[in-house]
Amino acid sequence: MMNYKNKKIYVAGHNGMVGSAIMRALQKNGYENLITKSFTELDLRRQSDVEKFFRQEKPEIVIVAAAKVGGILANNTYRAEFIYDNLMIEANLIHASYLNNTEKIIFLGSSCIYPKLAPQPLKEEYLLSGYLEFTNEPYAIAKIAGIKLCENYFRQYGCNFISAMPTNLYGPNDNFDLQTSHVLPALIRKFHEAKTQELSSVTIWGTGKPLREFLYVDDLAEAIIFMMESIDAKNLYNLGITHLNVGSGKDISISDLANLVAQIIGFKGKIEYDLSKPDGTPRKLMDVSRINSLGWKYKTELEEGIKLTYEWFLKNSVKN
């Protein structure tokens, strides 16, 4: 295992949910040479600005946690922005890394890269084996392009650029805005508001039947450090895969999840389902056997993670 402790590490997107968890985990693990730039200081869609920053800073390791991210509604509404922003961010970061001899990139995508009707659980090799879910196709196409950038900068130039595909994440610094949020923070906010306003019922989007997998974001951050320290491009690409799945390997129905969140928050009213709203992909579960066999496994069970996230929400909800 290579010693990365003194390497200059640039975490792109450090203010986001994933980026901030990676920063916490790096600091906890003794990494001190960390560099960051907020969105207002550096817009990663601007190629010349990104290249100037890389020429000045020469980061040795780059973790790509900057992206335009959102739930079904945001993905389906801002389709052009989701494909344009994400393509530009990753292409600029990956090419600038190549130009400046960055030693390693960990690029983050998500489970939506897999075909809508791929067999479950999702194995790494199912990438590009069928049609994508329409609602988040622009985002998925951009993320697939990011994986392929890393793979082909390795194949042409030998760059040590690799990709991690996490399942649905949740935890501190999540987005709790109901217009743009993912399902778990949306449920936390809805049940919290229903409890404080003493409402008799809460309405959930869709049938409640889809199955989803969730990973606490601090566990993902540990997986990223594990990949940075222990997995090289040649090991991955020579195995015939382009990325590693990161998840718990366990799924839960949205209705069971809603009941669990309601119980943790202490909401005692009824849960109703709005069948006019889309369900999205029927089931999404990662096959995490590869990363498990390489040496990483999740630690935080869903119930504990939701409790920690609700505590964070209560302390920070003024900001949301």
Ligand X SMILES: NC(=O)c1ccc[n+]([C@@H]2O[C@H](COP(=O)([O-])OP(=O)(O)OC[C@H]3O[C@@H](n4cnc5c(N)ncnc54)[C@H](OP(=O)(O)O)[C@@H]3O)[C@@H](O)[C@H]2O)c1
Binding residues vs ligand X (CB under 6 A): 13, 15-19, 38-39, 43-45, 65-69, 85, 89, 108-110, 166, 168-169, 182
By beta-carbon proximity to ligand X, the closer residue of 246 and 258 is 246
- The answer to whether residues 57 and 8 touch, using CB atoms and an 8 Å cutoff, is yes
Q: How far is the CB of 109 from ligand X (least distance, A)?
A: 6
By beta-carbon proximity to ligand X, the closer residue of 168 and 242 is 168
- How far apart CA 113 and CA 142 sit, in angstroms, is 9
139 is annotated as an active-site residue: yes
**Active-site position among 10, 31, 139, 216:** 139
- Give the residue carrying structure tokens 């030998």: 158
Work out whether strand 251-253 and strand 211-216 pair parallel, antiparallel, or are unpaired: antiparallel
By beta-carbon proximity to ligand X, the closer residue of 13 and 249 is 13
- How far apart CA 17 and CA 22 sit, in angstroms, is 9
Chain mean position to CA 270: 31
Q: Which residues contact 117 (CB under 8 A, 6 or more apart)?
A: 130, 131
Q: How far is the CB of 80 from ligand X (least distance, A)?
A: 14
Q: How far is the CB of 137 from ligand X (least distance, A)?
A: 14
In this chain, which residue has its C-beta nearest to ligand X? 16
By beta-carbon proximity to ligand X, the closer residue of 17 and 265 is 17
> Residue 261: which of 185, 180, 176, 315 has the closest Cα?
185
Q: How far is the CB of 79 from ligand X (least distance, A)?
A: 16
- How far apart CA 82 and CA 90 sit, in angstroms, is 12
Catalytic residues: 139
